[in-house]
Structure 1
Amino acid sequence: MSVLAWPAWAGDCRDDLVKLRGPWGQAQFTVEIADSVRERSRGLMFRDSLPKNGGMLFIYARPTFVSFWMKNTRIPLDMIFLDERGVVRRVHHDAVPGDLKQIPGGPGILAVLEINGGQARAFGIAEGSEMQHRAFDVGAAWPCE
């Protein structure tokens, strides 16, 4: 995996692209959006793979307490929980396919990014990292330009 340089995508803010930054560097993922109850409840269930730098961004109408599980999910995932400013509040590494154990993100979560298991650790994505996406336009830690 390689971390992309800042100038290559600094001002590009699209619905299907998230960018993360922190002391570890920067990364970007092409995402599908899950912003309805139906889309969020299905998530990445029943899929056999996810593109290397792909993911799904779950967006809620307002910050809330969220909890995920891996029922009917066939691939290991990292879950990145973000507040209303796009700041990472929690990272759950390598969620186990099919596991019914609840994975809490905590209160005040506006969005959750699911990516392939192991990628968050490989990039260094951790609490305090910032995401750029249109979902965080108002008061964002890393606003769209």
Structure 2
Amino acid sequence: MVAAAAGGIVRGMMRRSLASLPAAALLAGGGEARAQTGPQPKLPQERLVIVSRDGARHEFQVEMAVSPEHQTVGLMFREAVGPDEGMLFDWGAPRESSMWMRNTLVPLDMLFIAADGRVHRIAERTVPHSLAPVDSRGPVRATLELAGGTAERLNLRVGDRVLHRIFGTAP
């Protein structure tokens, strides 16, 4: 998930913003703070809607990754992500987001979402187990991970609007 400099902490499938990692974690080196060997239990779910440019509404039930512990594990070790499921990483405030696919078994689409709820960037079909960083390329309030291929299947694009309470736009 989150890649840290010089062999430091990298999170499995889901990533946290490097800016949100504690300094001690970045300096620890030598592996993860806690070795994760299996998926975390399902997190609390909330409704999220993406409104595409043509006005189509796409509804999802997303797990809410809010705590650093949940964000660090994310969707690691999950064998599947349903077509209307996902995980929303709420960074709390706009910041750069850098994710990776360590210990992630399935490809994901990552939507980086600005504070106003607009899709800032989409990384499609990220590669399972890859340690290559997937960056937001600008400050974002949240990162949404969906099953790989969802953005193409639903014709999602940069600029589409995400309706969810964290953006002040309840669906």
Q: TM-score, normalised on structure 1?
A: 0.83
Alpha-carbon offset, residue 106 of structure 1? 2.1
Residue type matched to 2:49 in 1? K
2:50 aligned partner? 20
Out of 43, 47, 57, which is 2:74 matched to? 43
Q: Secondary structure at the match of 1:41?
A: helix
Tell me, in whole angstroms, the C-alpha distance in 2 between the residues paired with 1:124 and 1:52: 14
Pair member with larger Rg:
2
Out of 77, 83, 95, which is 1:52 matched to? 83
Structure 1 runs, 4 residues or longer, greater than 3 Å off: none
Tell me, in whole angstroms, the C-alpha distance in 1 between the residues paired with 2:87 and 2:79: 14
Tell me, in whole angstroms, the C-alpha distance in 2 between the residues paired with 1:36 and 1:64: 16
| Greater Cα offset, 48-57 or 87-96 | 48-57
Residue type matched to 2:82 in 1? P
Tell me, in whole angstroms, the C-alpha distance in 1 between the residues paired with 2:158 and 2:67: 26
Q: Structure 1 or 2: larger strand share? A: 1
Q: How many residues matched?
A: 126
Percent of aligned pairs with the same amino acid = 33
Gaps of 5+ in 2: 1-44
2:35 aligned partner? none
Give the 5 Å matches for 1:99-138. Answer: 99-137=130-168
Give the 5 Å matches for 1:70-109. Answer: 70-109=101-140
Give deviations 1:84-104, integer Å, cap 9, x for gaps. 011000000000100110000
Q: Highest relative contact order (Cα 8 Å, sep 6+), 1 or 2?
A: 1
